Amino acid sequence: MTADTDTLKDTLARARQEIAKVIIGQKQVIDSALIAIFTGHHALIEGVPGVAKTLLVRTLAHVLGCEFSRIQFTPDLMPADITGTHVFNLQKNSFVLVKGPLFTTFLLADEINRAPAKTQSALLQAMQERTVTIDRHTHQLSDNFTVFATQNPIEYQGTYPLPEAQVDRFMLKIPMLHPDREEELNLAQRMLGTESPEDVLKSGKVNSVISAEDLTKLRRQLIQVRVKDELAAYLVDIVRQTRKHQGVLVGAGPRATQALLLSSRARAALAARDFVTPDDIKALAAPVLGHRIILKPEYEIEGLSIKEVIEQILQEVTVPR
């Protein structure tokens, strides 16, 4: 590894260590979140209530030296509640901009599927271009602006499914599951004292490993992680195969190809390597492609899952040697 990639490797290792002081277990979730952040993309987190989705994003913001905001999406939430609006100031006798919670670095869009489409779409420009237009004036967001949107997989009443165009803007869909028995026992024992995850985060025991400015620089260092031509071709073939599978109605688009390539690079960096392997691509195929694939209704009725489709595709595409 070069000196630059050594710095990236050390930063990622320290970030993992600090996050683990608060988040018990969930190693795969933490790695996926770091992949989204260091590639400059966004993530959709799916999990039942109480698995520390909000706490995870707050901890990530603290450890990486970034601002954090949270929006609780509700059916009556309006786009202006997110972006902000101009309010008349009597003292200045003019309109002044009151910025909304979108003006931050790490944004937690909590239960995003509870808001109607017009409110969900208020995030589209910010996610794609990192800009916000308010009353025909465009405002620049942070280069590190990252959206972590959560949704509850078990409640469908009163929810508005995300449209395909918006789902495609999330690099990864991260399932956040219940902890195993040992992890849940650890959590229960910590809650009896003063070492609960919330207490630890507030106590100052969790250190920031970098600043927001450093994060921008470190993201550029991923370009040092090599991807061989035959691996790039393998990756493209996997994405293209999603459009040909007999059980798939809508396959993954070119944005999925870019996401799988960049996330594979980040996974290699997390593993302290400066090269991508086929295993990196395979490990990220489901998180990157799963939420972009729509199955044909008849195959869904037969019980075919998207995970099974991706596994079949990985078996069909020849792995380069």
Residue 291: give its domain's CATH number.
1.10.8.80
Region 290-299: mean pLDDT is 90
Q: From 221, 250, 274, give the residue that closes a domain.
A: 221
Written as one letter, the residue type at 285 is: A
pLDDT tens-digit map of 32-70: 999 999 999 999 998 888 888 889 999 999 999 999 999
Other Cβ atoms less than 10 A from the Cβ of 216: the count is 14
Contact between 33 and 53 (Cβ < 8 Å):
no
* Judgement on whether residues 198 and 303 belong to the same structural domain of the protein: no
At residue 29, the pLDDT reads 92
Q: From 168, 198, 221, give the residue that closes a domain.
A: 221
At residue 158, the pLDDT reads 58
pLDDT tens-digit map of 156-187: 555 677 777 778 889 999 998 888 899 889 88
Written as one letter, the residue type at 81 is: D
* Judgement on whether residues 92 and 114 belong to the same structural domain of the protein: yes
Residue 246, burial from CB neighbour count under 10 angstroms (0-12, 13-18, 19+):
exposed
* Judgement on whether residues 115 and 181 belong to the same structural domain of the protein: yes
* Judgement on whether residues 119 and 135 belong to the same structural domain of the protein: yes
At residue 95, the pLDDT reads 82
Other Cβ atoms less than 10 A from the Cβ of 321: the count is 5
Q: From 165, 196, 221, give the residue that closes a domain.
A: 221
The tally of domains found in the chain comes to: 2
Which of 88-97, 162-171, 248-257 has the highest mean predicted lDDT (pLDDT)? Answer: 248-257
Is the pLDDT score of 21 beyond 80? yes
CATH number, domain containing residue 150: 3.40.50.300
Higher pLDDT, 66 or 94: 66
* Judgement on whether residues 244 and 136 belong to the same structural domain of the protein: no
* Judgement on whether residues 206 and 232 belong to the same structural domain of the protein: no
Domain that holds residue 318: 225-321
Kind of pairing between the strands at 294-295 and 146-151: unpaired
Q: What percent of the chain has pLDDT over 70?
A: 96
- Where are the alpha helices (H) located in the chain, listed in sequence order? 3-19, 27-38, 53-63, 79-83, 117-120, 124-129, 164-167, 181-191, 197-202, 212-220, 229-241, 254-270, 278-289, 297-301, 306-316
* Judgement on whether residues 186 and 38 belong to the same structural domain of the protein: yes
Local structure of 251: helix, strand or coil: coil
* Judgement on whether residues 290 and 173 belong to the same structural domain of the protein: no
* Judgement on whether residues 14 and 161 belong to the same structural domain of the protein: yes
